[in-house]
Amino acid sequence: MAQPGIPQPEQEVEKLLRDYQSTQEQLRTLAIQLEQFQAQKAEMEKAKEELGKASGKVYFSIGGVIVETTKEKALADIEDRYSLTTARLQSFNKQYTEVKAREKQLNEKLTQLYKQQ
């Protein structure tokens, strides 16, 4: 519905600007989450590497408590968490790519509208 006193093209530009800003915020949020998952993945890779070198007793941190466990159980837990993190990372990468494409599309529309004015 057109707002009285504001020409239709200006309303379209305002809507596109709001969408563009919202999309940029989504990209920032996704980028932060991607970075966190990448850091978690790298941490787990390092933990797997160190666990592979370990001999003797192995300790695992669970919710602020450190418990003794077997090397096999610790490795299985790290592998499970690694798989979950990898899946989430792939999902966030896909979302990021889709939102980035949307941002590019909105940017092109805005540029085109400004050139027409």
Cβ partners under 8 Å of residue 23, min gap 6: 99, 102, 103, 106
What average pLDDT does the segment 93-113 reach? 94
> Averaging pLDDT over each range in 8-12, 45-49, 111-115, which range is the top one?
45-49
Neighbours of 41 (CB within 10 A): 16
Q: Name the pTM for this structure.
A: 0.75
6: which DSSP letter?
Answer: S
How high does pLDDT run on average in the chain?
89
Domain boundary assignment for the chain? 30-116
Q: Are 23 and 103 in contact (CB under 8 A)?
A: yes
Q: Cα–Cα distance between 42 and 48 in angstroms, integer?
A: 10
**Confidence class for position 66, pLDDT limits 50, 70, 90:** very high
Q: Cα–Cα distance between 104 and 114 in angstroms, integer?
A: 15
Please report the pLDDT score of residue 13 as a whole number.
83
- What does residue 35 show for φ and ψ, rounded to 5 degrees? -60, -40
For residue 68, the SS3 value is: strand
Q: What is the dotted CATH code of the domain comprising 30-116?
A: 1.10.287.370
